[in-house]
Amino acid sequence: MKVPLVKQSPDFKKCLNNGRLVKVEIDLRTVAREVDLAHSDLSEGEASIERGSNKWATVQAYYAMFHAAKALVHQKGYREKSHQCLAIALRELYVRAGKLDEQMLMEIEDARALREEANCRGSFTEAAANHSIHVAKQFVEITVKLISESQQ
């Protein structure tokens, strides 16, 4: 039985064509390293919350999600070269495949915007930091589960 080819979205093709997303050989050490970085950033973000450092918690929460997303995309044989194309790759490779909820992708994109506000403009709140850490924890857990399932 032939597996039908799935048509790539125009955004995904654009990322490939402009080199912001590249096809790579899957290296499970790279996947594991990205997961480790996600866990580390999440732990640092949680510690920042405890210290009342909401700016850094917001930044660290996003980077936990960023590294988790990089692990997932690499697991499918791609490497990103832009934050935007990373989100596009997640949509293409996981949301369209029914492995990741669109709402989670929207939360990650919101966290990226909050990170930019906190890091570049000094605008952040305790509520946003707590929410970002909460979402990062969920996404890292989902990432670990998806990677584990794909390696079985």
pLDDT for 2 equals 44
pLDDT at 151: 81
Query: Looking at residue 6, what is its pLDDT?
Result: 60
Low-confidence ranges of the chain (pLDDT < 70): 1-6
pTM over 0.85: yes
Overall residue count recorded for the chain in this entry: 152
pLDDT of residue 1: 42
Residue 61, classed as helix, strand or coil, is helix
Rounded to an integer, what distance in angstroms lies between the CA atom of residue 23 and that of residue 77?
6
For the chain, the structural domain boundaries read 24-150
pLDDT for position 128: 96
Q: Which own/partner pairs from 68-71 qualify as long-range (CB within 8 Å, at least 24 positions apart)?
A: 68/34, 68/35, 68/38, 68/136, 68/139, 68/140, 68/142, 68/143, 69/108, 69/139, 69/143, 70/34, 71/31, 71/32, 71/34, 71/35, 71/38, 71/143, 71/147
Confidence at residue 152, expressed as pLDDT on a 0 to 100 scale: 76
The pLDDT of residue 149? 93
At residue 95, the pLDDT reads 96
CATH topology of domain 24-150: Four Helix Bundle (Hemerythrin (Met), subunit A) (1.20.120)
